[in-house]
Amino acid sequence: MRFSKLHGAGNDFVFLTSETEPADGWQQTARALCHRQTGIGADGLVRSTVLDMDPPVLDVTVYNADGSLATMCGNALRCAAWRAYREHGLTRMTLVLAGVKHEALVRVDDVQVTAEVGQVDMRRVMTVWDGHPVWFHSAYTGTEHVVAMVPDVDGIDAVALGRLVRGHPDLAPLGANVNFVQHTAKQVLRIRTYERGVEAETLSCGSGAVAAVVIATMRGVVAPREVTVHNRSGVPLTVRPHTNRPGRAFWVAGPVTEVYEGTLA
């Protein structure tokens, strides 16, 4: 079985070319291949199938590193769009993930996909950390996210606090991805994300970047136009409102890199 490993701004994924389900099933295969020590190592496993070429439509399935299915993953969608560009020459396409349609646009060094925005709840969760209250606002961007605006993201223990909030009773039963966001300059944010399903801090999160911009915009920290979101990978993403659906959909954009290809034994 052939595979390729790609990353979108540091958020890395294994893509399999075979549509034949492995003997152990897709979920167990995802856990095995994504394991950082005994597998290829990735934040998720992705399968992408062309449904139609006129107009281009691809079905995308994303398994998190723990084997669970993802309902949204902006960087996985960006990587899938890049592969469709390389393999089929597609520059515009529709990607269907968990039944939701996403627009995609591929340029030479920039891949953009749309994220749908649902319910937003300000001051959804409060916890105390290092003797201080920390408020988290929730924003659904295809998957559950909570966002805390903090003065210094480097001063946060993103893993410990992220793990604590990810399973907070007020977020039951699904929990949420946990984002810590700092406003650093006009239309510029910094972010750290603890991802549910990976159960660790990741270098980048596309849907988390959108959630951060949604909350920062509602709080008046940034204006409702393009925002640069810096993450731990050092490769920033940009987020901007969808022209035809402002407030309901956003474009998230950035580079995609193929790391290597190989064959599974």
Domains of the chain: 2-114+255-263 (3.10.310.10), 120-252 (3.10.310.10)
Q: How confident is the model at residue 121 (pLDDT cuts 50, 70, 90)?
A: very high
pLDDT at 1 over 90: no
The pair of three-digit structure tokens given for residue 217, joined into one six-digit string = 């915009």
42, 45, 72, 73: which one is catalytic? 73
Q: How confident is the model at residue 265 (pLDDT cuts 50, 70, 90)?
A: confident
Q: Which amino acid, one-letter code, is at 50?
A: V
pLDDT at 10 over 80: yes
According to the 3-state scheme, what is the secondary structure of 194-220?
A: EECCCCEEECCCHHHHHHHHHHHHHCC
81, 111, 198, 205: which one is catalytic? 205
Predicted confidence at residue 209, as pLDDT, reads: 98
In the annotation, is 73 catalytic?
Answer: yes
Predicted confidence at residue 17, as pLDDT, reads: 79
> What is the average pLDDT across 41-48?
97
Predicted confidence at residue 29, as pLDDT, reads: 96
The pair of three-digit structure tokens given for residue 208, joined into one six-digit string = 């988390």
Which residue would you say has higher pLDDT here, 108 or 149? 149
Q: How confident is the model at residue 19 (pLDDT cuts 50, 70, 90)?
A: confident
Predicted confidence at residue 24, as pLDDT, reads: 85
Across the chain, the runs of DSSP E, i.e. the strands, are 2-8, 11-16, 44-53, 56-64, 92-97, 100-107, 110-116, 120-129, 132-140, 144-149, 177-185, 188-195, 200-202, 227-230, 237-241, 249-254, 256-263
pTM of the model: 0.96
CB 6 within 8 A of CB 257: yes
pLDDT at 181 over 80: yes
In the annotation, is 79 catalytic?
Answer: no
Q: Is the dihedral of CA 154, 158, 160, 162 positive or negative?
A: positive
Residue with tokens 């290829």: 40
Predicted confidence at residue 122, as pLDDT, reads: 98
If 0-12 CB within 10 Å is exposed, 13-18 middle and 19+ buried, where does residue 130 land? exposed
As a whole-number percent, the residues of the chain with pLDDT over 70 amount to 100
Predicted confidence at residue 68, as pLDDT, reads: 97
CB 81 within 8 A of CB 150: no
pLDDT at 114 over 90: yes
Among 15-19, 137-141, 200-204, 249-253, the minimum mean pLDDT is found in 15-19
Predicted confidence at residue 20, as pLDDT, reads: 79
pLDDT tens digit sequence for 83-102? 999 999 999 999 999 999 99
pLDDT at 52 over 90: yes
Helix (H) or strand (E) holding 248, with range, is none
d(CA 123, CA 104): 32
What is the rounded average pLDDT for all residues in the chain? 96
> What is the average pLDDT across 152-179?
96
Predicted confidence at residue 231, as pLDDT, reads: 98
